[in-house]
Chain A
Amino acid sequence: GQSLEQPSEVTAVEGAIVQINCTYQTSGFYGLSWYQQHDGGAPTFLSYNALDGLEETGRFSSFLSRSDSYGYLLLQELQMKDSASYFCAVRDQGSARQLTFGSGTQLTVLP
């Protein structure tokens, strides 16, 4: 089976940089994804890492270290609209098409 750990809450101010960490345990590994979900909204795909290193998409970057079973989502130049829940998710080779989500990190951006 899989398990993921991420902080439950993070607070930062507008314009700041915040990092949301995710550690995982899987029986195999086939990628780490990040999703954003605003209150009352649907999860939205942000990024995916299959290999070690940093992937950058605009203000958001995601990092993976497979040897450490660790990844993070980096949000730069925070804006109020970034206040949302952020989920890491893994797909392991044993589960084929299944994504398992972490418990989520509630990010609050203050003015």
Chain B
Amino acid sequence: DTEVTQTPKHLVMGMTNKKSLKCEQHMGHRAMYWYKQKAKKPPELMFVYSYEKLSINESVPSRFSPECPNSSLLNLHLHALQPEDSALYLCASSQLLQREGRDGYNEQFFGPGTRLTVL
């Protein structure tokens, strides 16, 4: 299984709603990431988990709350979002270690994303 899955594919929510985005991988990767991507822009890193522990939080507002229940799952809990938070939210995973001349952190596997619209 070389796939990262994300649910839901599309999400529309009001500013007072609470919702969660889910991500799953079964490649045995021990690093998982959340990115935010606006149209015609590159992905922007939000959070990095390694060995199920949060290792990087790129100054993301507290209305975004990540969770890593186990090595295969990654959630992003959303609360009191703003319209400017509308974007494509991408989950990715990677190996942690270098092996055979490859670098895990450089080679990330992305899920299809959740298209979020905040009204």
Which of A's residues lie within 8 Å of B, judged by CB? Answer: 30-33, 41-45, 48, 50, 87, 89, 91, 96-104
Q: Does B34 touch A at the CB level, under 8 Å?
A: no
State A92–B105 Cα separation when bound (angstroms): 11
Say yes or no: B103 contacts A42, CB within 8 Å.
Answer: no
Specify which of A30, A42, A45 is in contact with B107 (CB 8 Å cutoff): A45
The chain B residue with its CB closest to the CB of A44 is B110
Interface residues of B in 30-49 (CB under 8 A from A): 31, 40-45, 48
A-B contact pairs, 18 of them (CB 8 A): A31-B106, A33-B107, A43-B92, A48-B106, A48-B107, A91-B103, A91-B106, A97-B56, A98-B45, A98-B48, A98-B56, A98-B105, A99-B45, A100-B45, A101-B44, A102-B42, A103-B41, A104-B40
**A50 proximity list for chain B (CB < 8 A):** 101, 103, 106
State A84–B89 Cα separation when bound (angstroms): 19
Which of B's residues lie within 8 Å of A, judged by CB? Answer: 31, 40-45, 48, 50, 55-56, 58, 90, 92, 101-103, 105-113
**B41 proximity list for chain A (CB < 8 A):** 103-104
Question: Which residue of A32, A43, A89, A101 has the most chain B CB atoms within 10 A of its CB atom?
Answer: A43
**B45 proximity list for chain A (CB < 8 A):** 98-100
Say yes or no: A89 contacts B90, CB within 8 Å.
Answer: no
Specify which of A42, A45, A100 is in contact with B90 (CB 8 Å cutoff): A42
**B44 proximity list for chain A (CB < 8 A):** 101
